[in-house]
Structure 1
Amino acid sequence: MRLLALIVPATALLPYVLAQVQVWGQCGGMAWTGPTTCVAGSSCTLINPYYSQCLPGSQPPTSGLPPTPTTSTITTTTTNSPSCTPSPRGALQPRATGPPIAALDGWAAGSYLQKDRNSDAAILGSFSTRGWLIGSGSLRLINYSGTCILFLYLNILPSATSYKPLAFQQSGTTFNWGFNGPNSTLSTSDGFNTFVTCSGGALYLQTGTDVPSGNCTTTRLQIGQY
């Protein structure tokens, strides 16, 4: 009897490789239709019923699909200020994890993306107050100290100038963020990856040649610590 060896072309494996989600990418959640398998060295971790994320680690692969909903009684006690009232949905959401985003260039190098404490403006600030973010496409800020608002969207605001203000807001309007290049720098799907920051931390996406007044510098933003 002759035994036949089955040879699988390497190209036949490409769909499985291409379907894998990179570290920090979305891999599941309610209504998610994308890939659910993470690249080697990471695992798909449930963040909340609507979002699962590939996180670094050697844990065995897990499904990006949310668990079957169960009914439970939730009792909450709040010590927040009167302006902050946790919702039942917020109580259901586990604490998420994710990487910070750091500036790479100019005198801003080593500062970190975060939300201004007194407005919705996105700014660059110190390591100690850095923000932690999740997602790709939309970029969302994990809740920061002093508020119970979860997962604010990083949005590009309209402006007549080529430098566009950035803000963290409860409703998303910008869904074309990504990380590209050898440094995994933040960019939009149409190729804009340069940011302008000024004294005090004000942060803008640069889409042309206009510059704000004052002491400003251009920088790229990198996922992870500086």
Structure 2
Amino acid sequence: MRVSSALPVFVAGATAQVVKGPYEQCGGQGVPDAACQNGWQCTTYNPYYAQCIPGPTSAPAPGTNSIPSIITTTRSTLVTITTAPTITSPPTTTQAPGSNPTPTTLQSGWYWIRAVASPNYRSYLQPQPTASPQSAIIASYRNAGQFNVVSGQLIQNKFGNGANTYLHIENPTDKTQRKLKTWFETTPNTYGTFGFQGDTLVWSVEDIKRPNTAAWLVCGEGKELFVNTGAFLYDTPAGCFDHTIHSYGGSQADV
């Protein structure tokens, strides 16, 4: 990965750039390199995608607008060392309901949701079809679900293959718990609120003060999705990888 930080300064001969806001794309193949607003850093996850994430002392600032500045940037390489995944016990299995598959072409008013960083680059949100309840996983594009956020609920359109489902978040007794489980049910989620910050999926709740509402974890060989209640890219739980996940409006869920 590369990490860059930007401070507004005036330097003779500097190149004028538009400063990107929180969680916006700041580089990648076919995208001009840009800098992030003060307190945020541009992190490259792969040759195709770089994103503004909080710097060491910054906090998320949803809804703020960045101001164009004349800046210079410094870019360096960051290597993230992550503990190798551990094997988790398989979930209880049952026959998946219905027989009609989700369309492989994106339908109007819906989005794919995917990770954009290694080791789950362009892996897509979907329910684990043989689990009960259906755990949320980040997996192959071949079974990607189609989603949207409506009134604070993240809804999966099942296109007649049973009732639409809602992504649920675990409500822990211990509010300092680092990982919160996610799963799909046909009833609305009762804990917290979903939203999009740009194209980034966020989740927040009043009784847990998360340093980063866009932080998620993908854990185990089953690639289960969890809410990360701690700092992004810091003290990652064993067997998990830090991710932000993003809506994608392409006609096909590609790789």
Task: Give the fraction of aligned pairs with identical amino acids, expressed as a percent.
Answer: 25
1:170: how far off?
A: 1.4
Q: What secondary structure, in the 3-state scheme, does the structure 2 residue paired with 1:203 have?
A: strand
Q: Which ranges of structure 1 fall in alignment gaps of 5 or more residues? A: 1-80, 85-94
Number of residue equivalences: 132
Q: Relative contact order, CA 8 A, sep 6+: which one is greater?
A: 2
- Answering whether residue 201 of structure 2 is matched by residue 201 of structure 1, we say no
The residue that corresponds to 1:53 in the other structure is none
* Cα separation, 2, equivalents of 1:108 and 1:204: 14
The residue that corresponds to 2:202 in the other structure is 187
Query: TM-score, normalised on structure 2?
Result: 0.45
* Cα separation, 1, equivalents of 2:213 and 2:243: 12
Computing the radius of gyration from Cα coordinates, the structure with the larger value is 1
- 1:127-206 equivalence runs, <5 A: 127-136=141-150, 137-143=152-158, 148-159=161-172, 160=174, 161-172=177-188, 173-174=190-191, 176-181=193-198, 184-189=199-204, 192-198=213-219, 199-206=221-228
Query: TM-score, normalised on structure 1?
Result: 0.51
* Cα separation, 2, equivalents of 1:97 and 1:204: 26
**Contact map agreement 1:97 1:142 (CA 8 A) in 2:** no
- Answering whether residue 128 of structure 2 is matched by residue 100 of structure 1, we say no
1:208: how far off?
A: 1.6
* Aligned-pair Cα RMSD in Å: 3.0
- 1:201-220 equivalence runs, <5 A: 201-208=223-230, 211-214=236-239, 216-220=240-244
Q: What secondary structure, in the 3-state scheme, does the structure 2 residue paired with 1:196 have?
A: strand
1:143: how far off?
A: 1.1
Greater share of residues in strand: 2
The residue that corresponds to 1:112 in the other structure is 124
Greater share of residues in helix: 1
1:134: how far off?
A: 2.3
* Cα separation, 1, equivalents of 2:204 and 2:192: 9
**Contact map agreement 1:97 1:132 (CA 8 A) in 2:** no
